[in-house]
Structure 1
Amino acid sequence: MRLLTVIFFLVVSASTTAQLKQVSIVQFGAIGDGKTLNTAGIQKAIDQIASKGGGTVQIPKGVFVTGSIFLRSNIILELLPGSVLMGSPNRLDYGQSPCDAMINAIEVSNIAIKGTGIIDGNAKQVLQSLFDELKSGRLTDRDWPKKRPTESNRPKIIHFFKSKKINISTVSIQNGCTWIQSYERCDQVNIKGIKVNSTSYWNNDGLDIVDSKNVLIENCTINSSDDAICLKSESAELDSVVNVKVLNCSLRSSANAFKIGTGSRGGFKNIYVKGLIIYDTYRSAIALEAVDGAFLKNITIEGVRARNTGNGIFVKLGKRNKDERFSTVQDITIRNVSVQIPAGKPDKGYELEGPLLKYPPGIKPGDQLSISPWNKAPDDTASIEYLHHVFPASISSLPEHPVKNIKLENIELSYEGRNDASIPYFPIDSLHLITEAVTAYPEFSMFGELPCWGFYFRHVDGLSIKNLRLFQKNKEPRIAVVYDDVNYLNFEDINVPNTERVYRNVKRK
């Protein structure tokens, strides 16, 4: 009899544990009517199942409104077919400033978000609420109303911090107020098959990896009004962004498609990117930027096809940091890349377009040829639009601090081109006067008008080029390629006439 009692107890316990491994948020009072605030119920479901060792918290069919929720270790958040996890329209449901994200994970492990449902940041209503709170004085902001509310006052959709063993798969994420998702100082991050669509508001980076290691991003589709996939290093003390793979993704952006930087305080190494399809992107298909003292090394990017994109390749070493450190950029391989660059604005017609280039304050057209134009909002009528020819691809650095060991293989850049005699460009015999733009925001337009239309190389040690093809639909007076201060240049099979190349301070290998 005692043995039977023990067996019964074990069976009941096992059954109860199994039940706790999977719960629906409706069991905790959540209502999917698109109106009820369900933050407390969702958090209770997460906390209870986490206290039992972990399991799956399910979001069923319906529209479930929530403020900030926090995942615990060993939790899977599953969005079932027809489900929408909707951000609360009330800005204060994300806390004060700096606000929390909609979905947070802080110093936890073995967590996942999966399913075929939708995570919606509800950006328009959240921002309207934010403006109301700022006007009332219940919230304050250093940048508002002279510019726009700071990023710290606008909730991200997903923010994971100091967490590990993360899996994000197949969900759709949309309508964010700032960065859509950020994985900061995390380890073992797998992001597969997600869809991101957020083109309405400022700083809508599709996916940000910040000082994280051992990351796989695969088969994702991202349409965002800021950088689509961006790796950032915000801490000089960390070993930063290490061992990242980005595979077979479709990207569209009103900024850059794949970018390393601009935030570049620590470093980036062992980055492998393959199989990107890029379209209707305002800035660069590939942008590699180290401007805050970071190291950037052992980077391979291959198999990129970009159409209607403002620039093909942009690599820049600069120095915005105030300390004595200089960034280093070395061991970069870019191959099997094809980019089609239009003459006009490639992201025209989207709800939030990339900003037009304007003359810097105090400089008028004709005052100066070699300047770094700046980005201003399209509705800013106080500044003058910077008219320009199509900007070339570029790989550049600073005097005595060159980028090193750059390999380009099988690169095809096709420019629509524009022959407009009213737009002046920098003369080819005055290369030494072109701005170094040492502290300027890194962007392919940062040198202003250049004397070449295809590729601009400056301050490079070790440049190997094999099978570079440059095409221009509408001919113009500028030459195709400039090599300026390039040591150990080696090239073969370049489809550019010799008369369209200019060399200054170049040492051939």
Structure 2
Amino acid sequence: MIETPLLQEEPSGIATSNQAYVSLSRRKWLGRISAGALAVAGTSMIGTQALAAEPVNPGAIKDGMAGAGTYNIRDFGAKGDGKMLDTAPVQAAIDACHRDNGGTVLVPAGDFVIGTIELKSNVTLHLANQGRLLGSPRREDYRAGKGVPEGNGNIVLLYAVEADNIAIEGRGTLDGNGKAFYTGHGDNTGPGNTERGYMDRPHLAIFYKCTNLLMRDTFFTQSAYHCFRILHCQQINIDGIRIYNRINKNNDGFHFNSCQYVHISNCDVRCQDDACALFGSNQFVTVTNCSFSTRWSIFRFGSGAAQHIAVSNCLIYETYGCPIKISSGRAQLENLTFSNIIMRNVTGPIGIGFSGASQNSSNAAADTAKPFVRNIVFNGIRATVVPLPVNHPDIPFEVYIKNGEQNSCITLNGMGEAYLENISFTDVHVTYAGGGTAAQAAKRDIPKIAREYFGVWDQEPAGPPAYGLYARNVKGLTLQNVRFDYEKPDARPAVVFDNVQEASINGLSAQGSPEVPLLRFTNTKDVMLSATRVLTSAAAFLSLEGTGNEGIPVDGGDLRKAGKPVVYESGATKKSVNLRV
């Protein structure tokens, strides 16, 4: 059968081919062709009868070519005029391709307005140069993806569920038209929010329980919600795509949940919310040769078993709310590496928080597993940290700046009985804006909060007590060839340790303040310091506070610019330090 769309004009000005179809059999179709034309074509009556016995398919495949056909959506009735709703012909092309054992669905040049579309197994969606799938501005043209979980919303423009061997490729565009859904409200899924927010809006794409997913070269933009939600999928390859997603609130780039064998390379992501969220139990993930910019965070981890993840050769710029953010309750995080990373103009460059307690009281199963956060490597990091976030000029709404985002530092924050284990920083150079105050330096009672890194510092006075690194409840911390500078004077120590054990600091260089010691340790044990350098005048090299400090040898280094080598406060004694300089 040839299905010819009967087009109807909607009051909104968007025509639709979803309403009805006129079916025309091949026999009737051939009957309308003149006998002369058939004779010229060399078509016999026997041939005509044979053709009439089979349905017509605009993407029909010759014998022996199953799975290799091209299905042009215009052949199925799509107009591509930016006005008519082309959902039905686009879906018809995908369905025909899927029935014929797969192939390529071609989106040629044009603006094809669509609502919800389902991508199916063995189908490659190819967006040609100047080809654009444009989301309808009308909510009624969208629906929940069939079988997609409701969490974080399941209204969607393009989706696939339990599909294999699917791809989106080509240098065309998938545009969510997200401005049409802007209300000024977010989804309220951030820390401290208890009421459900604005979720009745379409994500750009959702993939759920899919295997062998490929995306390459395409431009994805202007989602009304997240750009990609990739949930419980395996074998994912994403190469050379661009994401520009700054038209609405909660405009994530990639949002992964419990996926395996994920490989992202050569991508450019500019978004408003999390650029590459890795929630749940994502494992065997690589991200390389990418650039990122966002208001909130780039690599964000939550609870779950996030393991065996390598990020390398990436550029992060104009990113606030913490580029690398790990915020976990009863997690099992291990074997994460971040290497060769440049961060330009960021706040809170790295934040790890770990409470060891479930953040979801209904998640009884998670509470049976022993939680841990361990074996995390930062290597070859160069960063410049600004004093506070700056609104991006291309985000069309103001973004609230939290107190804790100001005068930020690297934060390693374990709570109670929970410890971060085996965290290392090698060849790291961070330049801070400076400007920290004596009131910030005086902080001692640090809130027991392990969610967002800046939530720890939201209490007044805003900001952490160190300008370089604050570490609490860490076992096995290594700083090797680390340098902390500031652009203008800062009245805080460079490094503050609180209940840190089994640490090695070798080749640390940092600028000091005449008002405070360069380093401050509280209840800290078995820390080896060697080859340290005090770059500018400091009140002292090291301050020990409390009776719980012990086993701290200081071996060599250049401490000439420190007023004193060590000062002892709140019951600390000289026997806790072995000074060899």
Shift of 1:190: 0.3
Counterpart position of 2:84: 36
> 1:118 is matched with which residue?
173
Q: Is the 8 A contact 2:66 2:100 kept in 1?
A: no
In 1, Cα distance between equivalents of 2:110 and 2:507: 59
Task: Go from structure 1 to structure 2 and tell me whether the alpha carbon gap of 1:410 and 1:504 turns closer, same or farther (over 3 Å shift).
Answer: same
| Cα separation, 1, equivalents of 2:423 and 2:413 | 11
Higher RCO, 1 vs 2 (CA within 8 Å, ≥6 residues apart): 1
Secondary structure at the counterpart of residue 349 of structure 1: coil
Aligned 1:41-440 pairs, distance under 5 A: 41-95=89-143, 98-127=153-182, 150=197, 152-233=199-280, 240-261=281-302, 264=303, 266-291=304-329, 293-318=330-355, 319=357, 320-322=359-361, 324=367, 327-352=371-396, 355-357=399-401, 375=402, 386=403, 389-418=406-435, 424-425=439-440, 427=442, 431=444, 433-438=445-450
**In structure 2, what is the equivalent of residue 442 of structure 1?**
452
Which stretch of structure 1 is more off in the superposition, 107-116 or 250-259?
A: 250-259
- Of 486, 507, 510, the residue aligned with 1:496 is 510
Cα distance, 1:17 vs. partner? 4.1
2:106 and 2:126 in contact (8 A); partners too: yes
| Aligned 8 A contact 2:142 2:155 in 1 | yes
Give the TM-score, by structure 1 length: 0.81
- 1:252–1:148: structure 2 CA closer, same or farther, 3 Å change rule? farther
**8 Å Cα contact 1:419-1:474 kept in structure 2:** no
Distance 1:42 1:150, change over 3 A: farther
Equivalent-residue separation in structure 2 for 1:454 and 1:353 (angstroms): 31
RMSD: 2.8
| Structure 2 equivalent of residue 22 of structure 1 | 70
Name 2:525's counterpart in structure 1: 507
Structure 1 residues 497 and 344 mapped into 2: Cα distance closer, same or farther (>3 Å)?
closer
Q: What one-letter code is carried by the residue in structure 1 that aligns with 2:360?
A: N
Task: Give the whole-Å Cα distance in 1 for the aligned partners of 2:474 and 2:497.
Answer: 9
DSSP 3-state at the match of 1:50: helix
The alpha carbon displacement at 1:496 in A equals 2.3
Percent identity of equivalent pairs: 28
| Distance across 2 between alignment mates of 1:497 and 1:142 | 40
Counterparts of 2:76 and 2:93, CA distance in 1? 6
- Structure 2 unmatched ranges of 5 or more: 1-46, 52-59, 145-149, 528-581
Q: Distance in 1 between matches of 2:174 and 2:405?
A: 40
* Equivalent residue letter for 1:333: V
In the TM superposition, residue 175 of structure 1 has moved relative to its aligned partner by: 0.3
Question: How far 1:281 moved relative to its partner?
Answer: 0.8
Contact 1:187 1:215 in 2 (8 A): yes
Distance (whole Å) between structure 2 residues aligned to residue 309 and residue 411 of structure 1 = 15
Compute the displacement of 1:148 (Å).
10
Query: Equivalents in 1 of 2:500, 2:520: separation in Å?
Result: 12
Residues paired across the two proteins, number: 445
Q: Name the CA distance, whole Å, in 2 between partners of 1:13 and 1:356.
A: 56
Q: d(CA) in 1 for partners of 2:495 and 2:394?
A: 33
Task: Give the corresponding residue for 1:379.
Answer: none
Match of 2:559 in 1: none
**Paired residues of 2:407 and 2:436 also in contact (CA < 8 A):** no
98-107 or 27-36, larger mean C-alpha shift: 98-107
Shift of 1:142: 11
What is the CA distance between 1:426 and its match in structure 2?
A: 5.3
Q: Distance in 1 between matches of 2:415 and 2:263?
A: 33
Query: Which string of whole-angstrom CA distances, capped at 9 and with x for unpartnered residues, describes residues 49-89 of structure 1?
Result: 11110000000000000011111110000000111110011
CA gap of 1:501–1:179, structure 2 versus 1, over 3 A, is same
Aligned to 1:469: 483
Paired residue type of 1:338 = R
CA distance in 2 between counterparts of 1:394 and 1:471 reads 16
Q: Is the 8 A contact 2:441 2:492 kept in 1?
A: no
Structure-1 residue corresponding to 2:14: none
Q: Which residue of 1 aligns with 2:147?
A: none
| Superposed displacement of residue 417, structure 1 | 1.3
1:476 to partner: Cα distance: 2.2
Residue 41 of structure 1 deviates from its aligned partner by: 0.6
- Maintained 8 Å contact 1:88/1:126: no
Q: What TM-score does the superposition give when structure 2 sets the normalisation length?
A: 0.72
Q: 1:108 to 1:329 in 2, by over 3 A?
A: same
Between structure 1 and structure 2, the one with the greater Rg is: 2
1:390 and 1:487 mapped to 2: Cα distance?
Answer: 26
Q: How far 1:434 moved relative to its partner? A: 1.4
CA 1:19–1:402: 2 relative to 1, 3 Å = closer
**What are the Cα deviations for residues 302-349 of structure 1, in whole angstroms up to 9, with x where unaligned?**
011011111211111134333556742001111100110112424443
- CA-to-partner distance for each residue in 1:370-405, whole Å, 9 max, x for gaps? xxxxx5xxxxxxxxxx48850111111112210111
User: Any gaps of 5 or more consecutive residues in structure 1?
Assistant: 132-140, 234-239, 358-374, 376-385
What does residue 364 of structure 1 align with? none
Q: Give the CA deviation at 1:15.
A: 5.2
Letter in 2 for 1:122: N
Aligned residue type for 1:390: N
Write out per-residue CA displacement over residues 205-250 of structure 1, whole angstroms, 9 at most, x where no aligned residue.
11111110000010100000001111111xxxxxx21100000110
Matches of 2:343 and 2:386 in 1, distance apart? 11
Helix, strand or coil for the counterpart of 2:94?
A: helix
What SS does the corresponding residue of 1:165 show, helix, strand or coil?
strand
